[in-house]
Amino acid sequence: MKLEREMMRGAGPTAVMHLLNSGEMYGYEIVERLAKQSNGIFQMGQSTLYPMLYNLEAKGLVASTNKVGPNGRERRYYRLTSAGKKRLDKDRKQWAALVQGMSALGMTRDAVPGLAMSESF
């Protein structure tokens, strides 16, 4: 089952910001960790990730820096800005309220464990 595009459009950026809250990361690293930590639900390709990162950067929620990594190659690292942190806080509360509301409605009882994110997002 694929997660609907509109739902993922709201959840994806929050998931990325949540991940970056633990420290700066480069693109592939974000893709990998999102997929692993979300049990494959946030499995997104580059065509989704990078536009999302550029949008977050345009909004001032993340910032990027080019650095030479341990393997000697140059990569672009993304980190959460203070504005991003505030936004993440706000999003967290919203998500908590949403999950709580959905649970109260009994929406989460039959949740599919292996739900994967749509590539078309």
Partner 1 sequence: MTSTTFQRLFPTFANASASWRDVLQHSALPGNVKTVIQTVAVHSRLSGAEKRDVVTELIAHFEDGYEQGTDYETLLSEFGDPLAAAKLIRRGKIRNRSMSSKILRGGVVAGIVLVLGYVFLYWYFHRGQARPSVDYLAQLNETAASTPESERAWLVYRDVMAREKYIEGPGGRFDEIYYRNEGAPDDMRLVLPTDGPQWESAVEKLQASQELLETMRKGGVMPQMGLELQYDMFGYSDADRLALFPRSEDAPKPDSPQTGFETNPMFGVLLPHAQSFRNSVRILTVDTRWAIEQRDAERAIRNIEAMCGMANQASQPKFMVGSLIGFALIGMACDSVGEVVQSTDLDLTPEQLQRIQHAITQFKATDLVSLKGEKLFFLDFVQRTYTDDGNGNGRITPAGMQLMLGSEQLPGAESLQKSFAEKTIENLASPLSLIVVASRKELVETAERVYDELEESMFTPYHEDEFVGFEEMGIDQRKFAILGLVFPAVQQVRVAMYRTLANQEGTALAIAAHRYRVDQGRWPSSANDLLGTYIDELPIDPLSGDPLKLTSSEQGVRIYADGNDKDDDGGIPMAVNLDSTPHKNQNLDWSDPNVRPLPAGEFNFAAHDLDGDWVIWPRAITNEQVLDLLSK
Binding residue for partner 1, selected from 7, 9, 10, 51, defined by CB under 8 A? 51
Bridge partners, 78 (sequence order): 25, 64
Helix (H) or strand (E) holding 7, with range, is: helix 5-20
If one asks whether residue 1 binds partner 1 (CB under 8 A), the answer comes out as no
Part in contact with partner 1 (CB under 8 A); list of ranges 10-18, 29-37, 85-93, 106-114: 29-37
Query: In whole angstroms, how close is the CB of 94 to partner 1 at the nearest point?
Result: 23
Bridge partners, 25 (sequence order): 78
Q: How far is the C-alpha of 99 from the C-alpha of 17, rounded, in Å?
A: 18
Return the structure tokens found at 6.
């509109």
Part in contact with partner 1 (CB under 8 A); list of ranges 2-10, 11-19, 24-32, 90-98: 24-32
